[in-house]
Amino acid sequence: MSNQERHPGEQRVCTAEDTTPCPDTELLTPREVPLGGPRAMPVLRSLPGKNRRMIGAWCFADVYGPTDISHQAGMQVPPHPHIGLQTVSWLVRGRVHHRDSLGSDQLVQPGQLSIMTAGHGIAHSERTPQDAHPVLHGAQLWIALPEGDRHGPPAFAHHDDLPVLTHPGARLTVIAGDVDGHRSPARVHTPLMGAEVTLDPGAHLTLPLDPDFEHGVLPLDTPLDLLGHHIEPGALLYLGPGRHHLDLAATRGARLLVIGGTPFTEDLLMWWNLVGRDHDEIVRARTDWERARTGHGTRFAPVTGDPGPALPAPELPTARMRPRPPHRR
Ligand code: MN
């Protein structure tokens, strides 16, 4: 006996009108985490979740704000290292000043994508600029690099020419991958997509999906009711593979991110800002960073122009760390 269907998951897919949670969906509740140290800005982190750690190659999702930063420092993340991932910085309001060890110096602005590829190793800082916009609101996501690309050279790219699709009452910006044949110029290393969708009150949008992808929906400002779930901003709704489209509707209007990708097939060891595969590799990267902070070694160059001291790495856990699968099996 064998299942002849190409996408056996399809028969379970329910519709936008459903009021009970669909069986192939899972709500990931975020936890609040201080960004860049205990005195820093709080962020809502939905990925990695307790059971579901990845969506495609997307392995990390932080949403912050909207926060009035006119009487505070805003985002102040001193130089710190990354390996094995790409960072995606996406702003709704405000500005963030990105500097890195390649010499990149970029003001990240709403509607524009900054994508940094860590590869074998990069260091960067992210700070609210001096002439700050009073409100900061945005997201940072990480994409895990597959084995074949994760030891490659670091890179940074800024894209202010992303495809924008408009429909009555709706606007979609393609951040990564493609939507309905409109492709982001951002270089990624596994089949994946990312988009920002805004809906006016009462508007709806049918978003075509790749049925080979699993997806995640992250509201950025107002709660969203979708497929029998109530998703608060900063939370993430997981959608299993097999969907050909997603009907989005928002009586009060909405701004949300949709991410997706083919299920990742490698287990990851994520510790601090480092994405690797085993304990010893993470320990080596940590050692290389601690040496770099005191001006030694070649793996992590200094972050040009950053005013502050670099972030020290946290202490390693006492037990050996183990890689984890993309979701609990
Ligand atoms: Mn970072």
pLDDT digits (tens, 9 = 90+) for 103-150: 999 999 999 999 999 999 999 999 999 876 889 999 999 999 999 999
Instruction: Put the strands of the sheet holding 113-117 in their side by side order.
Output: 31-34, 42-47, 58-68, 135-144, 85-93, 113-117, 155-159
Q: What is the average pLDDT across 150-172?
A: 97
Cβ within 8 Å of residue 222, ≥6 positions away: 233, 250, 252, 253, 254, 255
- Kind of pairing between the strands at 31-34 and 164-167: unpaired
Q: What is the pLDDT of residues 221-260, one digit of tens each?
A: 999 999 999 999 999 999 999 999 999 999 999 999 999 9
Question: How many whole angstroms from 122 Cα to the centroid of ligand 1?
Answer: 9
Question: How many whole angstroms from 82 Cα to the centroid of ligand 1?
Answer: 7
Question: How many whole angstroms from 42 Cα to the centroid of ligand 1?
Answer: 15
Q: How far is 134 from 233, CA to CA, in rounded Å?
A: 20
Alpha carbon 311 to its chain centroid, in Å, reads 21
- Which domains does the chain possess? 32-261 (2.60.120.10)
DSSP structure string for 253-274: -EEEEEEEESPP-S-BEEETTE
Q: What is the pLDDT at residue 300? A: 97
Q: Is the pLDDT of residue 3 over 70?
A: no
Q: What is the pLDDT of residues 179-228, one digit of tens each?
A: 999 999 999 999 999 999 999 999 999 999 999 999 999 999 999 999 99
Q: How far is 190 from 204, CA to CA, in rounded Å?
A: 30
User: Which CA distances in Å does 182 have to 45, 109, 226, 301, 315?
Assistant: 29, 22, 25, 36, 44
Q: The pTM is what?
A: 0.94
The DSSP output letter for 83 is: B
Question: How many whole angstroms from 108 Cα to the centroid of ligand 1?
Answer: 14
Question: How many whole angstroms from 273 Cα to the centroid of ligand 1?
Answer: 7
Q: How far is 266 from 303, CA to CA, in rounded Å?
A: 31
Which of 120, 184, 190 shows the shortest CA–CA distance to 155?
120
Question: How many whole angstroms from 328 Cα to the centroid of ligand 1?
Answer: 26
* Cα maximum dimension of the chain: 67
Question: How many whole angstroms from 81 Cα to the centroid of ligand 1?
Answer: 7
Question: How many whole angstroms from 11 Cα to the centroid of ligand 1?
Answer: 40
Question: Which two three-digit tokens encode residue 22?
Answer: 């669909």
Which of 33, 29, 31, 55 shows the shortest CA–CA distance to 176?
55
Q: What is the pLDDT of residues 27-81, one digit of tens each?
A: 999 999 987 655 678 899 999 999 999 999 999 999 999 998 888 888 889 999 9
Mean pLDDT computed over every residue of the chain: 92
Question: How many whole angstroms from 134 Cα to the centroid of ligand 1?
Answer: 22
Question: How many whole angstroms from 177 Cα to the centroid of ligand 1?
Answer: 22
**Residue 318, exposed/middle/buried by CB under 10 A (0-12, 13-18, 19+)?**
exposed
Q: What is the pLDDT at residue 9? A: 46
Question: How many whole angstroms from 155 Cα to the centroid of ligand 1?
Answer: 14
Neighbouring C-beta atoms of residue 206, cutoff 10 Å: 14
Q: How far is 2 from 326, CA to CA, in rounded Å?
A: 27
